[in-house]
Amino acid sequence: MKNNSADMVFEGLLRIADDNLILGHRTSEWCGHAPTLEEDLALPNIALDLIGHAQTLYCLACEIDSRYKNEDQLAFLRLEHEYKNLLLVEQENGDFGNTVLRLFYFSTFMKYFWERVKIKCCFKKLKEFSEKAFLETSYHSKYASQWVVTLGDGTDESNLKMSNAIANLEPFLGELFNNDDFTEMCSQNDFLPEPRSIFDSWKNEVEAILQKGNLDFPAIILKKRGGRKGEHSEAFGYLLSDLQYMQRAYPNSSW
């Protein structure tokens, strides 16, 4: 692989890995605090998948850039602006409804993302990984969609809470589908699909599920962005201080 294409693959892997790590981190915060024991089992299980995906992708990134000797160096020892995750995934969990709605948005997006990588990707190892990632994100999307319908349809109170969650997450949806020079280069090189190309499939599915839950599809007018360039929200620093605590407090140790 040529140098510039190595840079492209490294950056591309990092974006997806960071999304998965950070959403996995947020999801894992529910452990022991969920509304039912079944959800106490399901949410850590999903966090396990998400962080597992991040681990695989960081390992692939390390093979490409020899500055990083292992996956933990990427996961734990970068500075805030070096994380390239979406603002959507770093926001605090909010209530259970907000949590499952975000999971539904993200995993439905990733399901179509991996489906496209499965069909076409110049990086063979990622293409192979996409088989498993597609199955797991499809399951996450299904799990979350069931809760979105249940909570939307359930009671007046739960419907209101879900409407609030839709409004709360709306400003972060634009970034999910934002094309930039980088995503265009990835697409031209048959490496990764353009985010915007996923929008129609995503919208059809999300709209149908929201409708089942008597909820309205958001207008997506406000478009906060910055995560992909390393510009994060205030909540992110606190997340990193938890995530990085051990590696920062006890540098150069084996665990």
Query: Residues interacting with another protein, by CB under 8 A?
Result: 25, 28-29, 31-41, 44-45, 47-48, 51-52, 54-55, 58, 71-72, 75-76, 95-97, 149-151, 153-155, 157-158, 161, 242-243, 245-247, 250, 253-255
Closer of 4 and 252 to another protein (Cβ): 252
Q: Can you tell me whether residue 70 is helix, strand or coil? A: coil
- What is the enclosing helix (H) or strand (E) of 46? helix 37-64
Q: Is the dihedral of CA 166, 168, 169, 172 positive or negative?
A: positive
Closer of 51 and 110 to another protein (Cβ): 51
Measure the CA–CA gap between 100 and 43, rounded to whole angstroms. 10
Burial of 206 (0-12, 13-18, 19+ CB in 10 A): buried
Measure the CA–CA gap between 130 and 146, rounded to whole angstroms. 24
CA 147, chain centre distance (Å): 18
Closer of 8 and 149 to another protein (Cβ): 149
Residue 14 Cβ vs another protein, minimum distance, rounded to whole Å: 15
Measure the CA–CA gap between 195 and 179, rounded to whole angstroms. 6
Residue 46 Cβ vs another protein, minimum distance, rounded to whole Å: 10
Residue 169 Cβ vs another protein, minimum distance, rounded to whole Å: 18
Closer of 126 and 239 to another protein (Cβ): 239
Measure the CA–CA gap between 231 and 234, rounded to whole angstroms. 10
Residue 18 Cβ vs another protein, minimum distance, rounded to whole Å: 13
**Of residues 171, 172, 168, 192, the one with CA closest to residue 180:** 192
Closer of 40 and 115 to another protein (Cβ): 40
Q: Report CA-CA distances (Å) from 131 to 19, 47, 122.
A: 18, 19, 15
Closer of 91 and 187 to another protein (Cβ): 91
